[in-house]
Amino acid sequence: MRILLLGSGGREHALAWKINQSVWANPLYIAPGNPGTARCGKNVSLDITDFDAIKKFCVSEKIEMIVVGPEEPLVKGLYDYFKADEELEKIYFIGPSKKGAQLEGSKAFAKAFMQRHGIPTAAYREFDASNFEEGVHYVKEHSLPVVLKADGLAAGKGVVICQTSVEAVSEFELMIQNEKFGEASRKVVVEEFLDGIELSVFVITDGKNYLLLPEAKDYKRIGEGDKGLNTGGMGAVSPVPFATPGFMYKVEERIIKPTIGGLNKEAIDYKGFLFFGLISVKGEPYVIEYNCRMGDPETEVVMPRLETDLVGLLVAATQQELDTVKLRVDERSAVTVMVVSRGYPSAYEKGFEVTGLDKSDDKDSFIFQAGTKEEDGKVVTNGGRVLCVTAYGRNIEDASEKSLDILDQIDFEGIYYRTDIGYEFKSTLLGNR
Ligand SMILES: Nc1ncnc2c1ncn2[C@@H]1O[C@H](COP(=O)(O)OP(=O)(O)O)[C@@H](O)[C@H]1O
Ligand SMILES: [Mg+2]
């Protein structure tokens, strides 16, 4: 099967690595990819939001399946573009329709969807310029802390948790009146703060059936002990010790089944990955958000734990036959540690040579590249998040130590990573569920 994968991050390297293991993937193209994905297939230089260029490539290379890594092309309607074109409509498309992608593309859409289907989530109201004054009043009276969310895509920066009413009102005004996050914050969701511990749950769905992938927990803050600025993600672990069978039963019954049932009832085309950002409040799961694709860096621990052939699963999803497939999951723990450039998530430099990449690939650990590029035969840094190292272990502690051992051999100017990924699960028996 001739496959095109869109994206260029660590997530796409992990997906390309997994797809490339399938006997069905031949050839695999990655657009635009990175030096890591080039080892799993052929990189092609394409702008992933230039739909006409994607079409041209798919037609000329006779692509049979397209897998979309990041959210942007999905929210912009790439699925609908394919389905409306007679040269493209038969291509197996992994990713939701524009409507389905609204689960991520509009926080207000997602909240209303959850409300329609009785899915547990924080209580909320939505506001824009038309009910701005009412919004100010609502925000002022709201219990603290209060959560303000820009409705649209804001590259992970559109959520502000306010500790005082004064801060909340001023933030609310900035978002709506000054378009702090551009068009994305013309509408704002104001919601109740939930106090708990977060985790990420993923499914592959065909719009009717779903398969539960291994769950993961990611670490968003730049500093050890979850201190400092928010980032795209500094590491992840899987499995998550508190995601016990009892907890996951609640997640499936109260959240996943009503979500897939809702997609089906509302006739929303959705064949692909669906990410549930959850929070456990005293053992009860609530949805913080949906994403219409896999997470990064969670994919870098989820794919290594998936034993089943991914291409087979994806074909079954496009045929709405996921009820005929079973997943096999590696029992071991997996930990990934993200390596970033000094200064990230604020300003950082690029172009430093990365050394030690060749030494470490073995069957128990992998280097997934993210912000890298090739220059004169060398791999150099090309982004804030540069690469991550995933390792398996008997438990989280063991996997994390292996990751860090491999990281000892990798170097570039300004290298930084957290050494405490999975810290709250170390030295506990729970680590080996
Ligand atoms: N209702 C809430 N209660 C507590 N924390 C929240 C709430 N909503 C969001 N957060 C925090 O803010 C982070 C970002 O919010 P999220 O809805 O996932 O937006 P995005 O990922 O698009 O920035 C969450 O991971 C969580 O830590
Ligand atoms: Mg989030």
pLDDT digits (tens, 9 = 90+) for 147-161: 999 999 988 889 999
Residue 76 one-letter amino acid: K
Where residue 433 falls among pLDDT bands split at 50, 70, 90? very low
Mean pLDDT for 263-290 is: 98
Rounded to the nearest angstrom, the gap between the alpha carbon of residue 299 and the centroid of all alpha carbons in its chain is 7
Omega prior to 245 cis, within 30 of 0: no
Confidence band for 360, pLDDT divided at 50, 70 and 90: low
Residue 343 is classified by DSSP as T
Read off the pLDDT of residues 314-343 as tens digits, 9 standing for 90 and up. Answer: 999 999 999 999 999 999 999 999 999 999
Q: What is the pLDDT of residue 363?
A: 81
- How far apart CA 304 and CA 390 sit, in angstroms, is 8
Cβ–Cβ < 8 Å for 4, 65? yes
Average pLDDT on 406-414 reads 96
From atom 22 of ligand 1, which residue's Cα is the shortest distance away? 156
pLDDT tier for residue 361 given thresholds of 50, 70 and 90: low
Question: Rounded CA gap, 406 and 269, in Å?
Answer: 42
Q: How many residues does the chain have?
A: 433
Which tokens sit at 380?
A: 């150099």
Report the run of H or E that residue 400 belongs to, with start and end.
helix 396-407
CA-nearest of 57, 60, 52 to 30 is: 57
Closest ligand 1 atom, residue 220 Cα: 25
Calculate what percentage of the chain has a pLDDT beyond 70: 98
Q: What is the pLDDT of residues 203-230, one digit of tens each?
A: 999 999 999 999 999 999 999 999 999 9
Residue 2 Cα to ligand 2 midpoint, Å, equals: 32
pTM exceeds cut of 0.75: yes
Residues 161-190 pLDDT 10s:
999 999 999 999 999 988 888 889 899 999
Determine the distance separating the centroid of ligand 2 and the alpha carbon of 231, expressed in angstroms: 11
Tell whether the model's pLDDT for residue 46 goes beyond 80: yes
The reported pLDDT for the residue numbered 236 is 98
Mutate to test the pocket of ligand 1, among 125, 159, 298 (most ligand atoms within 8 A of CB): 159
Distance 194 CA to ligand 1 centre (A): 9
Start-to-end CA span in the chain (Å): 37
Instruction: Please tell me the distance from the alpha carbon of residue 26 to that of residue 154, in angstroms, as a whole number.
Output: 36
Nearest CA to ligand 1 atom 13: 159
> What gap in Å lies between CA 369 and CA 382, rounded to an integer?
10
Alpha helices in 117-241 (DSSP H): 132-141, 165-176
Do 337 and 406 touch, CB atoms closer than 8 A? no
User: What 8-state DSSP symbol labels residue 71?
Assistant: S
**What is the model's pLDDT at position 359?**
67
Cis geometry, peptide bond prior to residue 258 (ω within 30 degrees of 0): no
Angle at 196 (CA atoms; ends 106, 272), nearest 5 degrees:
40
Query: Is residue 358 very low, low, confident or very high in pLDDT (cuts 50, 70, 90)?
Result: confident
- Rounded Cα gap, residues 206 and 389, in angstroms: 31
Pocket of ligand 1 (CB under 6 A): 122, 147, 149, 156, 158-159, 191, 193-194, 198, 277, 288-289
Q: What is the pLDDT of residues 97-136, one digit of tens each?
A: 999 999 999 999 999 999 999 999 999 999 999 999 999 9
Hey, what are 206's tokens? Answer: 């065909």
Q: Are 349 and 414 in contact (CB under 8 A)?
A: yes
Q: Tell me how far the alpha carbon of residue 149 lies from the centroid of ligand 1, in angstroms.
A: 8
Is 187 in contact with 112 (CB distance < 8 Å)? no
